[in-house]
Amino acid sequence: MLLAEGTSRGGIGGNVAADGGEFHMTTTGISSDSIPVHPMGVKPLGNRYFASGPTARQSLGLLTQLPDEMILQILEYFDIKTLKDVGFTCRFLYAFCHLDELWKALFLDDWTIEELNRRYSTVEFRAEAVDWPFSVYHEYMSNNEDESPLYLFDKGFAEKMNIHIGHGADAAYWPPECFGPDLFELLGEERPAHRWLIIGPKRSGSTFHKDPNATSAWNAVLEGSKYWIMFPPTTQVPGVYVSEDSSEVTSPLSIAEWLLEFHTEARKVPGCVEGVCKAGEILHVPSGWWHLVVNLEAGIALTQNFVPKSHLSDVLAFLRDKADQVTGFKSNIESPYDLFLERLKTDYPELLDDAFDELERRNLTKKRKWEEAIGKKSDDENGGSGGGGFSFGFGDESDEEIP
């Protein structure tokens, strides 16, 4: 194959730098040894000035003769497998074949509302309380004026659409790798519901909530655009009422009403994050963060909940201490906490130890703060500042845990 010619010279498995050969800064007398080597041998652009070896571009074989723009245009015609294969022939093409724009175009064409209606018109999807063939939902979403339109939110979409998710050759998509391993994968078939296809017209969306079981999530917009507004875990979001044990969240207003009534005030709350995600963009919802989402136009999204290492302690604490609020597990799983613990002990004992150390540290901090608070309270009662409401005012996560 023409492109494979680059492999022998291009550095796959070899030690040739991305911009070519050895780096000798002879003019300054600084040896290359003093500069840390990038794991892939990539050098900052400025270094190319001093590089004497061949450039990665020369690994392109006959393609060297084409300008970058033309190579990019050729890559636009490739399917997923070809793009992947070609990307592994040399470093230059690795970089080019991994351009977001190429991948977005490849996936987004398959995931449009019209395309789904063409392929799955008779397949039933769950939209809140009803299961409708996609053609019926399509008709509804194209013609409604509802203030809070019915939202298609289906956790069984992969089976219904007969698509595979993961790294196989026939995978329709795979979860982003940047979040590291998803520790709930240890639960296999016993993991709680964790991925959803989300489709809705303009104005549809999700009212304020935290994601279940202290999981984190990513949400990939495939068509349309979504407005997000998010707050850190301990925020008291204006217009959102949470019961003492956080088991019930009451947000009595529709999304539109909340936006009219509370948006201006909420945006001033410290820690508020907001923005719009467009097709081809992915948003990360960290464990415990409040979020409200509204579709600015009709669209499709895929979302998946996961447990990254960094939030293992939060998930363990949730499963252990808020067992009555744990959701999404099959009813035959008596103790999700015990099940997860067992799997972690076998597969990730060190992570488990670290997570418990972290919980212990938090517990001690909480205890110390509680004792300080008690002391402060007695001072007040003994003729301290007097008057006014009593507030712990720690402003961190431990506040909500204090009994």
Ligand X SMILES: O=C(O)CCC(=O)C(=O)O
User: For residues 13, 15, 18 and 22, what is the CA-based torsion angle, rounded to 10 degrees?
Assistant: -170
In whole angstroms, the minimum distance from the beta carbon of 343 to ligand X comes to 24
Three-state secondary-structure class, residue 82: helix
Of 7, 59, 206, 287, the residue at the interface with ligand X (CB under 6 A) is 206
Q: Name the residue nearer to Fe ion (CB basis): 154 or 211.
A: 211
Mark 56-95 with x for binding to ligand X (rule: CB under 6 A) and - for no binding: ----------------------------------------
β-pair partners for 226: 277, 295
Of 19, 154, 182, 211, the residue at the interface with Fe ion (CB under 5 A) is 211
Q: Is 251 in the site for ligand X (CB under 6 A)?
A: no
In whole angstroms, the minimum distance from the beta carbon of 289 to Fe ion comes to 9
Q: Name the residue nearer to ligand X (CB basis): 130 or 374.
A: 130
Q: How far is CA 352 from the centre of its chain?
A: 23
Give the footprint of ligand X on residues 177-196 (CB under 6 A): 196
Alpha-carbon separation of residue 325 from 155, 243, 245, 291, 373 (angstroms)? 19, 12, 10, 18, 28
Sign of the torsion formed by the C-alpha atoms of 45, 47, 49 and 52: negative
DSSP 392: -
Q: Is 219 in the site for ligand X (CB under 6 A)?
A: yes
In whole angstroms, the minimum distance from the beta carbon of 311 to ligand X comes to 15
- 317 HSE (CA, 13 A, CB side): 19
Q: Name the residue nearer to ligand X (CB basis): 83 or 294.
A: 294
In whole angstroms, the minimum distance from the beta carbon of 213 to Fe ion comes to 12
Cα separation, 36 vs 339, whole angstroms: 44
Q: Is 210 in the site for ligand X (CB under 6 A)?
A: no
Over its C-alpha atoms, the chain yields an Rg (Å, rounded) of 27
Three-state secondary-structure class, residue 44: coil
The CA-CA-CA angle for residues 249, 254, 255, to 5°, reads: 95
Q: Name the residue nearer to Fe ion (CB basis): 19 or 211.
A: 211
Cα separation, 257 vs 215, whole angstroms: 28
Of 198, 229, 315, 319, the residue at the interface with ligand X (CB under 6 A) is 198
Q: Name the residue nearer to ligand X (CB basis): 154 or 211.
A: 211
Q: Name the residue nearer to ligand X (CB basis): 16 or 141.
A: 141
Q: Is 291 in the site for ligand X (CB under 6 A)?
A: yes
Q: Which residues contact 82 (CB under 8 A, 6 or more apart)?
A: none
In whole angstroms, the minimum distance from the beta carbon of 299 to ligand X comes to 9
Contact indicator for 201, 144 with CB cutoff of 8 Å: yes
In whole angstroms, the minimum distance from the beta carbon of 295 to ligand X comes to 7
Contact indicator for 322, 337 with CB cutoff of 8 Å: no
Partner interacting with residue 219 (select from ligand X, Fe ion, none; CB below 5-8 Å by kind): ligand X
Task: Tell me which stretch binds ligand X (CB under 6 A): 79-87, 130-138, 198-206, 323-331.
Answer: 198-206
Task: Tell me which stretch binds Fe ion (CB under 5 A): 142-150, 179-187, 206-214, 366-374.
Answer: 206-214
- Please give the size of the binding site for ligand X, defined by CB under 6 A: 12
Q: Name the residue nearer to ligand X (CB basis): 290 or 337.
A: 290
- Which DSSP string corresponds to 124-146? EEEETTEEEEHHHHHHHHHH---
Partner interacting with residue 198 (select from Fe ion, ligand X, none; CB below 5-8 Å by kind): ligand X
Q: Name the residue nearer to ligand X (CB basis): 187 or 301.
A: 301
Task: Tell me which stretch binds ligand X (CB under 6 A): 69-77, 171-179, 211-219, 229-237.
Answer: 211-219
Q: Is 223 in the site for Fe ion (CB under 5 A)?
A: no
Three-state secondary-structure class, residue 183: helix
Kind of pairing between the strands at 195-200 and 299-306: antiparallel
Q: Which helix (H) or strand (E) holds 299?
A: strand 299-306
Contact indicator for 145, 202 with CB cutoff of 8 Å: no
Which residues are near Fe ion by CB under 5 A? Answer: 211
Which residues are near ligand X by CB under 6 A? Answer: 196, 198, 205-206, 211, 217, 219, 226, 291, 293, 301, 303
